[in-house]
């Protein structure tokens, strides 16, 4: 791969992760409108799937053609990843603190690196391992697990939280496999179609007509479905199609940085010195993982 294409891949990943980081804007508004967490997730995946299907129909209907035998890849990205990690993530939030749940979710890159080693024979490099360590330490500081600490930890919450990280990682694994045969638009479209097929009946969503009469609510539903979902996943998947899944997932950890900065500038959160250090560690990991030539660990 040329250096320019290599850089472009990371730009796609960064932009996608940055868009994931602004999801709090839409969640905050929809929560205040009375929607539950799982209802918001359902609105997210359904609105994204509708947008994506309509766009692909207008762009090129050939992109909707898949072999039924390949459905497992989209079951993997849509159900095993999107649906499962959202369930596990929200369950972890209920069992442990939000900051701990976020940290456990971001064990995802470690799972990606390990699984990619077995499924795609991606090399386990010293720089990649170093980037994982920096990412973990950085996220610990960014989400303020340290120096606050963890007391009376729910081991069920920890287990489910790690499950959310595993589910989060599965998108990169199943997505990478699907990208060997299909266009990124095909991958993300069927990801959200399959996710919607499961979320609609199990989420218990019940929206009264009055809930949808507000233009403000509709703007936030459409914004949620497009910016941090359809567009974000498209950009990340484009980057994933160009670089190793392990490197892409590590680079995507700029998401909590964006979310934290959003909290500072929009919600008036106070940024601590520890969080600044954590951000620098994550950024260092992102820079480190971009180096293509690294010694493979034996």
DSSP calls for the chain: --HHHHHHHHHHHHHHHHHHHTHHHHHHHHHHTT--HHHHHHHHHHHHHHHHHHHHHHH-GGGG---GGGHHHHHIIIIIIIIHHHHHHHHHHHHS-HHHHHHHHTTHHHHHHHHHHHHS----BHHHHHHHHHHHHHHHHHTT-TTT---S--HHHHHHHHHHHHHHHHHHHHHHHHHTTS-HHHHHHHHHHHHHHHHHHHS-----GGGGS-HHHHHHHHHHHIIIIIIHHHHHHHHHTTS-HHHHHHHGGGHHHHHHHHHHHTS-PPPPHHHHHHHHHHHHHHHHHT-S--PBP-
Tens-of-pLDDT digits for all 298 residues of the chain? 677 888 899 999 999 999 999 998 998 899 888 888 888 889 999 999 999 999 999 999 999 999 999 999 999 999 999 999 989 988 888 887 777 788 888 899 999 999 999 999 998 888 889 999 999 898 888 877 766 555 556 788 889 989 999 999 999 999 999 999 999 999 999 999 999 999 988 776 666 666 677 899 999 999 999 999 999 999 999 999 999 999 999 999 999 889 888 888 888 888 888 889 999 999 899 888 877 654 555 4
Which pLDDT value is given to residue 180? 96
Which pLDDT value is given to residue 49? 97
Which pLDDT value is given to residue 202? 79
Which pLDDT value is given to residue 140? 83
Which pLDDT value is given to residue 165? 93
Stated pTM of the model: 0.90
């Amino acid at each position: 791969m040329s250096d320019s294409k290599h850089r472009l891949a990371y730009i796609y990943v960064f932009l996608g992760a940055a868009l994931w980081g602004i999801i709090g804007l839409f969640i905050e508004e929809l929560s205040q409108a009375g929607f539950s967490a799982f209802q918001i997730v359902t609105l997210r995946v359904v609105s994204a799937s509708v947008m994506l299907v309509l766009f692909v129909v207008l762009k090129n209907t050939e992109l909707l053609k898949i072999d039924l035998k390949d459905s497992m890849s989209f079951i993997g990205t849509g159900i095993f990843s999107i649906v499962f990690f959202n369930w596990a993530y929200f369950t972890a939030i209920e069992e442990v603190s939000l900051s701990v749940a976020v940290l456990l979710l971001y064990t995802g890159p470690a799972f990606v690196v390990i699984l990619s080693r077995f499924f795609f024979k991606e090399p386990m490099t010293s720089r990649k391992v170093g980037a994982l360590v920096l990412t973990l330490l950085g996220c610990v500081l960014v989400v303020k697990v340290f120096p606050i600490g963890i007391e009376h930890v729910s081991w069920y919450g920890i287990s489910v939280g790690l499950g959310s990280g595993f589910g989060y990682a599965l998108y990169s694994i199943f997505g990478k496999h699907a990208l060997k045969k299909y266009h990124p638009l095909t991958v993300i479209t069927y990801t959200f179609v399959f996710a919607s097929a499961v979320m609609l009946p199990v989420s218990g969503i019940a929206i009264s007509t009055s809930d949808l009469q507000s233009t403000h609510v509709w703007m936030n539903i459409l914004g949620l479905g497009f910016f941090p979902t359809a567009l974000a996943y498209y950009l990340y998947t484009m980057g994933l199609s160009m670089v190793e899944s392990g490197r892409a997932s590590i680079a995507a950890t700029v998401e909590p940085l964006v979310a934290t900065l959003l909290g500072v500038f929009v919600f008036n959160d106070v940024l601590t010195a520890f969080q600044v250090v954590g951000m620098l560690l994550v950024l260092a990991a992102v820079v480190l993982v971009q180096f293509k030539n690294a010694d493979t660990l034996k």
